Structure 1
């Protein structure tokens, strides 16, 4: 196999709670993560040109060893002594630096692709063990689906598939540093925690409304007061019929959960009319059917 094309799926956080900060600066979290059908195309090709080459449709992304996809390819190339040149094409659609794990998903796709292309024989667990060396979200992006993440995000428990629904994703024209968002969170005195157990109960019973009712992200308490556009996007989604709406990750992407595509389209029109978001998409959840749950 000389060429392989993969879909690197983005993720949303149905719930994001922070339980405390460790002495080393990492935070203990409890999150429910969900992949969605908003994805980057990742193409791997063997090349006569030695080394690893990155090609991307976004000129502001690094096309060198600073790109996490490059790091993923180098990790396996070094371990398994792969001598071929490797060309990686990243066709980006997931919003960048937006709380949707786009980079981590690209790295996960490269690990998957090289494992298949070179017949390395690595299991999912083997890929996850290597992925965590690249970033905390990479093991989840290898796993995909509906997952409870605990610890610092490395303890992953697969869940039943999220009930079918439609997702409206909207990213305004702003960016935020994850490190700074967490630092500001650490200074908060009164923290309102989301109902993670309620989300888990809703997913287990297949009840979309219960799942949506528990949704929440503690980092909104940092971001929404600082960026009023995020609150306006949330209000537009709710007005359009969302069961709930919130920020994913450390932001600034917002998303809403809808029972009907027509409702998501209505909310999209409201957001576009007010010019609140630079990137906006209607999609659906990526459901992974797992055994023995």
Structure 2
């Protein structure tokens, strides 16, 4: 038996850090939404009690470091599953990009294995398990658009944002999320207006969404990696309506509504950036079907 699951990337329309918690994590508040750039995760049932990871991407680990592997291992241990699985991951989302590619693969594995191993878990139960794997996994289990708080595991569903194009550009560097958070001066942040972003989404107001995009990690990453700042400047110059770094970076994305301007920005960025994508917002939540 085989299952093919889509694992979409996410972008942060806002990312705010409120304070550092006693447990060492940061208390965050983020508005996230899924986009139509996705990995493909194929699950094949094995009668033998093992987990195999297959990927042609050399940056994808094939052992316990892989979040999809961790998802399968967690389900096996928690529910006494004696069967195994081969998890084949076709990577389309850039690795270490601030787009939650690994987290989305893990979430896809949770949703798919729930069906493959006939576990009968609800979406909320899968999201709770996801929070044990990584901060973004809970959101990726649900997909769609949401306000994530706590360390990212508390999910409040939001409506889909206004439809538009998302142009993404990732320079050929990786960014350590832990390193960016370590360098963050929590006491002196310019906080994004999360409430106005949520209101803009609720009212389907594209201009309000564009006006209220913000990411407190952006300044740290831009100071460390000048090519990220350069991409952001170029995207603005080519005519994106609003431009922001996603997550801890280094991917920068711009929103635009008009096809002609999307093509101009996409073609302009391809001149000096390896990985450029033009995709639509998804906005819809996953289901267990």
TM-score, length-scaled by structure 1:
0.93
Matching of residue 69 in structure 1 with residue 68 in structure 2: yes
For the aligned residue pairs, the C-alpha RMSD in angstroms reads 1.6
Does the 8 Å contact 2:160/2:201 carry over to 1?
A: yes
Q: Distance in 1 between matches of 2:205 and 2:285?
A: 16
Between 1:83-92 and 1:101-110, the stretch displaced more is: 83-92
Alignment equivalent of 2:264, drawn from 263, 266, 289: 266
Matching of residue 27 in structure 1 with residue 26 in structure 2: yes
Count matched residues: 286
2:94 maps to: 95
Q: Cα deviation per residue 1:211-240 (whole Å; 9 max; x = unaligned)? A: 011001111111112222222211222222
Does the 8 Å contact 1:160/1:289 carry over to 2?
A: no
Does the 8 Å contact 1:198/1:213 carry over to 2?
A: no
Does the 8 Å contact 1:213/1:243 carry over to 2?
A: no
Alignment equivalent of 2:231, drawn from 230, 233, 257: 233
Q: Distance in 2 between matches of 1:80 and 1:87?
A: 18
Q: Distance in 1 between matches of 2:221 and 2:29?
A: 19
1:286 maps to: 282
2:170 maps to: 171
Alignment equivalent of 2:211, drawn from 210, 213, 216: 213
Relative to structure 1, the CA distance from residue 132 to residue 54 in structure 2 (aligned partners, 3 Å threshold; closer, same or farther) is same
Q: 1:29 deviation in Å? A: 1.1
Structure 1 runs of 4+ aligned residues shifted over 4 Å read none
Q: 1:189 deviation in Å? A: 6.0
Q: Distance in 1 between matches of 2:178 and 2:79?
A: 34
1:9 maps to: 8
Q: Cα deviation per residue 1:54-99 (whole Å; 9 max; x = unaligned)? A: 0011123210122111111111122333222311100011111111
Structure 2 unaligned segments of length 5 or more: list them.
none
Q: Distance in 1 between matches of 2:260 and 2:41?
A: 31
Q: Cα deviation per residue 1:237-283 (whole Å; 9 max; x = unaligned)? A: 2222211001000000100011123212211222122x1x2211000
Q: Distance in 1 between matches of 2:225 and 2:78?
A: 44
Alignment equivalent of 1:198, drawn from 196, 199, 205: 196
Between 1:202-211 and 1:225-234, the stretch displaced more is: 225-234
Structure 1 unaligned segments of length 5 or more: list them.
none
Matching of residue 130 in structure 1 with residue 126 in structure 2: no
Matching of residue 115 in structure 1 with residue 114 in structure 2: yes
